[in-house]
Amino acid sequence: MNSIAATYSQLIKSKAKKFGFQDCGISKADFLEEDAQHLESWLKNNFHGEMKYMENYFDKRLDPRLLVEGSQSVISLSYNYFPKEKISTLENYKISKYAYAEDYHEVIKEILCEMVAELQEEIGDFGFRVFVDSAPVLERSWARKSGIGWVGKNANLITKQSGSFYFLAEIICDLELIPDHETTDHCGTCRKCIEACPTDAIVSDKIIDGSKCISYATIELKNEIPEHFKNKMEDWMFGCDICQDVCPWNRFSSPNLQSRFTPNAFLKNFKKGEWKELTQELFSEIFKKSPVKRTKFAGLKRNIEFLEQSSGQ
């Protein structure tokens, strides 16, 4: 075993812990052969709906060496976002837990950059790029390969210790490191997520028809929400957590310790009545730093109106 690679790998994992990451695993930067076939057939089936950007950078998505010149390793990291407080769903519309607080892209990217700066102080300069759901990186595939968890039937990455409510991030770098091994799949005969999905979007084991998914309809879709979602949205106005909430592994979720992930006060106090009165001005104030800004005011308004019409209110 290369002793420098082993020392660096160990150092990176202890830094990841210090910076609040729950798990850290390493893979060799290589072509993702198995995933190439899955991605191709997912796109062929048009399961990406209007997410046309998924068709771009096909080769780069599958080979990090095309994305970061000279890269040798992919470091996968997970960061818990399970909220400290639940937002009441009584007389309220629902929002995915990951969007309760500040935008994770910014929070985690900052943490990653600080972590890399500390690493460079200790081991010297190295080439790298950090990614948080922001570039063509197949995050779940790398996290699975690095042994952080397995991909569940709901297509989320799941760990035995803490379920699936965490963000994934990567450092792709030119350091030679010691790769970890994949873990085993622990879904077994469970089908809870498939049975609970109100739109039948989980078409088979690990395959989501994005165009049927509430998350897609409320966030990614730019046009009108199709009629087939009527009466099936279960009051979700941004995202959907159903297939994660029912997953038995999420009974091990514990609240995150990140102060910037404290739920937005507006979200805690608003009820359906307030959401219906939402204005552009208020939207900008509430969601200034939130991932909800992705759907823009018009998108959130459309979602709320669709929910109102569906329930005949």
Out of 30, 133, 180, 235, pick the active-site residue.
133
Alpha-carbon distances of 213 from 61, 168, 170, rounded to whole Å: 22, 20, 26
CB atoms within 10 A of CB 118: 14
Alpha-carbon distances of 84 from 77, 226, 245, rounded to whole Å: 21, 34, 15
- Decide: is 152 part of the binding site for ligand SF4 (CB under 6 A): yes
Residue 277 CB, nearest approach to ligand SF4 (Å): 27
- Decide: is 157 part of the binding site for ligand SF4 (CB under 6 A): no
Q: Return the structure tokens found at 304.
A: 């709320």
The answer to whether 16 and 77 have CB atoms below 8 angstroms apart is yes
Candidate ranges 36-44, 102-110, 167-175, 206-214; the one touching ligand SF4 (CB under 6 A): 206-214
Residue 112 CB, nearest approach to ligand SF4 (Å): 26
The answer to whether 222 and 50 have CB atoms below 8 angstroms apart is yes
157 in a labelled binding site: yes
Ramachandran area for residue 147 (φ above 0: left; ψ -120 to 50: alpha; else beta): left
CB atoms within 10 A of CB 259: 10
**Phi and psi (nearest 5°) for 208?**
-105, 130
Interface with ligand SF4 (CB under 6 A), residue total 24
- Decide: is 154 part of the binding site for ligand SF4 (CB under 6 A): yes
For the window 82-111, what string marks contact with ligand SF4 as x by the rule CB under 6 A? ------------------------------
Smaller CB separation from ligand SF4, 26 or 243: 243
Candidate ranges 11-19, 42-50, 147-155, 299-307; the one touching ligand SF4 (CB under 6 A): 147-155
- Decide: is 256 part of the binding site for ligand SF4 (CB under 6 A): no
Task: Tell me the C-alpha distance between 180 and 27, whole Å.
Answer: 6
Angle value at C-alpha 177, between 124 and 140, nearest 5 degrees: 115
Name which of 114, 82, 88, 116 is nearest 101 in CA terms: 82
Task: Tell me the C-alpha distance between 232 and 246, whole Å.
Answer: 17
CB atoms within 10 A of CB 206: 17
- Decide: is 165 part of the binding site for ligand SF4 (CB under 6 A): no
Tokens 């929002």 belong to which residue?
Answer: 95
Give the residue, chosen from 197, 219, 225, 300, that forms a contact with ligand SF4 under the rule CB under 6 A.
197
- Decide: is 268 part of the binding site for ligand SF4 (CB under 6 A): no
DSSP code at position 230: T
For the window 209-248, what string marks contact with ligand SF4 as x by the rule CB under 6 A? ----xxx------------------------x-xx--xxx
133 catalytic residue (yes or no): yes
> Contact positions toward ligand SF4, by CB under 6 A?
152-154, 158, 187, 190-193, 197, 199, 201-202, 208, 213-215, 240, 242-243, 246-249
Q: Which residues are known binding-site members for [4Fe-4S] cluster?
A: 187, 190, 193, 197, 213, 240, 243, 247
Binding site per annotation, positions: 61, 133, 154, 157, 168, 187, 190, 193, 197, 213, 215, 222, 240-241, 243, 247
List, as residue ranges, the binding site for cob(II)alamin.
61, 133, 154, 157, 168, 215, 240-241
- Residues with active-site annotation: 133
